[in-house]
Structure 1
Amino acid sequence: MATVLAPLADRWRVVKRSLERPLTSYYLILGGTSMLLAIGLMMVLSASSVYSFKVHDSSYYIVLKQLTWVAIGLPAAWVASRIDRRWLRRLAWPAVGVAVVLLALTQTSLGFAVNGNRNWLALGPLTVQPSEIAKLSVVLWAADVYARKERLLGNPVQALVPVAPVVVMISGLVVFQHDLGTALVLFAILLGMLWVVGVPARLFGIALSVVGVAAFYLAASNAERRTRLTSFIDPFADFQGAGWQAGHGLLGMASGGLLGKGLSASQQKWGSLPEAHTDFIFAVLGEELGLVGTLLVLALFGAVAYAMIRLAINTADPFVRYASAGICIWLMSQTLINIGMVLALLPVIGIPLPLVSYGGSALVPSLVALGLLVGFARDEPEARAALRARRRDRAPRDDDGTTPRSGVPAVLAGGLRSRRRGTERGRA
């Protein structure tokens, strides 16, 4: 038995040493995000091709729009990774105000409804979903508030005010748009942040109960939501009605098997599965890439989540701690809700899968948030030192050790510099 476990123990030690390196968070966030984005583009092309050809007379119309959003999101993420932290904290306050104004504008003539949710805004040629912008704004603003009140957070009132009232107000605006899914994500962010700042368990339990009761009331007060709430328990009981989407999502996942049917071989995307390239893209992924593909996506999300948690634990900056934790709670809660929805473990409430589902309003804020985390990870003291050492090691040299910059052999450069300093001292 010992001979069998010894190689496993050695491999675990190697993995553990790798995870303890200074640049672990940096590379996990950068690599995991890049791979999820690539898988997302591939799956958007596959899942949307039939619908895109039917509606827009081109199989590539939707994926080209997604590529446009990626072309906007990646530079925005790069800028976010380079932005000064002090400026970021200053921008968080007006960002929340802008998010509230945009949410309110959806109830004017500029707003329009999609699938019964009036949560879209027409700004010239662009259509924007303000609630997606609100998620990032709330996280950064709450992180700045908690960083400023770091020494006062032992008082539950200081931990609750003003964050809880503002998040509840924004969630109310989102609920007024009939977007229960986004409201649940905002409540998850609030509860997660309260847990991170150390709110007493009793108060945290009360807040969790209030959110649960409010969510149940909002779901039960609307006939359509009430039907969704009950139909997910057994989608096949009303397969031709309320259980159609959840049922076909399960059929797609089940038919994929271990390795899947292959890319572009999905049958559900031919019209049986609504929102195949948005909220239910994970079902198409499971059908085409099988259990292996779905586990790969889950592993990538897990790696990114580990890096975010590691960053929040290791940093000495309270703003970075709360921002990293808040972004982790936001993206991972949204991931769990989406996958739970596809697996019929949760009601169908219209939540996209981060980085994978189609949609620029969700993709760009997610990329900006991850860009911020890349910047946080790169600015860790040990990470900065490791990056500087790596740049020095990669500096080009000639075969004789000559540095291209000076044209002097590296071995002699130190002697020449010391001789020059001695001459200058003699002149003095």
Structure 2
Amino acid sequence: MVEWLAHPQASFYLVLVPAVLLLALGVMMVLSASSVYAFVRYDDAYYFVKRQALFLVVGGVLAFVLSRRSPKQLKVVAWVLVLAALVLQLLTFTPLGFSNNGNTNWLRVGSISIGQPSELAKLGIVLWGADIFARKHKSLADPRHLLIPFLPVSLILIGLVALQSDLGTAMIMGALVLAALWYVGASWKVIGSILGAVGLAVAALVITTPYRMTRILGFFNQDLDPLGVNHQPIKAIFALASGGWWGLGLGASRQKWGGLVESHTDYMLAVIGEELGLVGTLVVLCLFLVLGYAGFRIAMRSDIRFCRYAAAGITSWFMIQALVNIAVVLRMMPVMGVPLPLLSYGVSALVANLMGLGVLLSCARQEPASRAYLRRRRRRAGRALVTTAGGRG
């Protein structure tokens, strides 16, 4: 194992293998968790899994393209992403925006939903911030250079998301901003000041919004309103508990029959626990741990600042969001409406996740040892081609 980890391409495959396994499991579990709801609502048990599979292909193509890009090209992509996210987020305030489960952070053209721009904004903040910090690395000791323009632009995007009643996503984005500042060496005074201001803003948004206050009260009093605010959390625990060690079997979930309405999205882990048991759940957690290790390994080994910051940011995005989702399912946090990366249904989230994986794979290929290995392999391939052509001549 130690020898394998020393291989120049180890980081690349440490990202690729767990990601592919999680994505494959995700498609299977979307089919299992959504089939009943899809049949009742759309008269097609395969409605959600077909969409997930289609956008898995779309996202996979984008991931492959991004994985072959150079850091210079990825920096251009970063600017395109953050500008696109800003424009699309503004469009949610026009007639193109619509509400879904109280969240108005959605876009559609005609009858076709094109997803949530906030998912693109997460990746945009990470990559654009990585480029900004890489360009200004010699000046980051000065708080003005550290915070401007990264913090104002990020706060605008986060504010637009929060105004559309998607506080859970806004908080994930805020966590990514704080993580990025910490990675580039921001002082605890700066981070603490920002965290305090954000905490006050979140508290104000919660206190002034009745349904958010109800969720908080339901979290602290878990016997409150078992058919209302605590219905989903209770059913999630029932699902996990009924799975035992080995689960009820793939497709055998009982809670997806109306108990867990969001079984294919926010509560995917509960269905995994019910059908695949504690063992299956632990396998999923281990895959996320391997992915997290690989991402931070890339960040530590890279000699390119952009790749270092981008890898750390993308890995933080996956790990923070996974931790929040798992904590909600286990009733360790209030309901926040945050999906499980790579596993939950959600086409915009899936495409954004895959694009992030593509960038992470590109950064893995840019590790010093990997660059040298790939150069040697290209030279050998070139010599073999010349030899073959000469022999035929």
Taking structure 1 as the reference length, the TM-score comes to: 0.87
C-alpha offsets along residues 158-181 of structure 1, whole Å, 9 cap, x if unaligned?
211111111111111011100001
Q: Which residue of 2 aligns with 1:358?
A: 345
For 1:100, the equivalent position in structure 2 comes to: 86
Distance 1:296 1:232 in 2: 28
1:13-412 counterparts in 2 under 5 A? 15-124=1-110, 125-387=112-374, 404-407=388-391
Task: Please give the alpha-carbon distance, in whole angstroms, between the structure 1 residues aligned to 2:38 and 2:247.
Answer: 23
Larger mean CA deviation between 243-252 and 373-382 belongs to 373-382
Contiguous gaps of at least 5 residues in structure 2: none
Distance 1:389 1:266 in 2: 51
In 1, the alpha carbon distance for the partners of 2:292 and 2:68 equals 21
Report the more deviating stretch, 309-318 or 118-127. 118-127
Q: Secondary structure at the match of 2:8?
A: coil
Higher mean Cα deviation, 151-160 or 38-47? Answer: 151-160
CA distance in 1: counterparts of 2:9 and 2:199, whole angstroms = 39
Q: TM-score, normalised by structure 2?
A: 0.94
* Secondary structure in structure 2 of the residue aligned to 1:122: strand
- CA deviation string 1:185-236 (max 9, x = no partner): 1100111001101111222222222222322222222100111112123433
Shift of 1:383: 1.4
State the alpha-carbon separation in 1 of the partners of residues 240 and 389 from structure 2. Answer: 59
Secondary structure at the aligned position of 1:232 is classed as helix
Q: Could you say which residue in structure 2 is the equivalent of 1:416? A: none
Higher relative contact order (CA 8 A, sep 6+): 2
Give the C-alpha shift of residue 393 in structure 1. 8.6
State the Cα RMSD in Å: 2.0
In structure 1, C-alpha distance between the alignment counterparts of 2:324 and 2:377, rounded to whole Å: 40
Identity, % of aligned positions: 47
* Uncovered stretches (5+) of structure 1, i.e. residues with no partner: 1-14, 398-402, 409-428
CA distance in 1, matches of 2:164, 2:197: 21
Alignment CA distance shift 1:263-1:312 (3 Å): same
Kept after mapping to 2: 8 A contact 1:156/1:200: no
* Alpha carbons 2:303, 2:367 under 8 Å: kept: no
- Contact map agreement 2:32 2:251 (CA 8 A) in 1: yes
Within 2, Cα distance between the matches of 1:221 and 1:240?
Answer: 24
Contact 1:111–1:118 (8 Å) recurs in 2: yes
Larger Rg: 1
Aligned length: 389
Task: Tell me if structure 2 keeps the 8 A contact 1:232–1:246.
Answer: no
Partner deviation per Cα, 1:299-320 (whole Å, 9 max, x = no partner): 1111111111111111111111
Question: In 2, are the aligned partners of 1:103 and 1:131 still within 8 Å (CA)?
Answer: yes
Q: Are 1:354 and 1:366, in contact at CA under 8 Å, matched by a contact in 2?
A: yes
Per mean C-alpha deviation after superposition, the further-off stretch among 81-90 and 67-76 is 81-90
Structure 1 pair 28–144 and aligned structure 2 pair: CA distance change class (3 A): same
Q: Is the 8 A contact 1:233 1:345 kept in 2?
A: no
- CA offset at residue 100 of structure 1? 1.2
The answer to whether the Cα contact below 8 Å between 2:302 and 2:366 also exists between their aligned partners in 1 is no
Q: Note the C-alpha offset of 1:391.
A: 7.5
Q: CA deviation at 1:54?
A: 1.1
Distance in 2 between the 1:98 and 1:380 partners? 29
Contact 1:235 1:242 in 2 (8 A): no
1:113 partner SS: strand
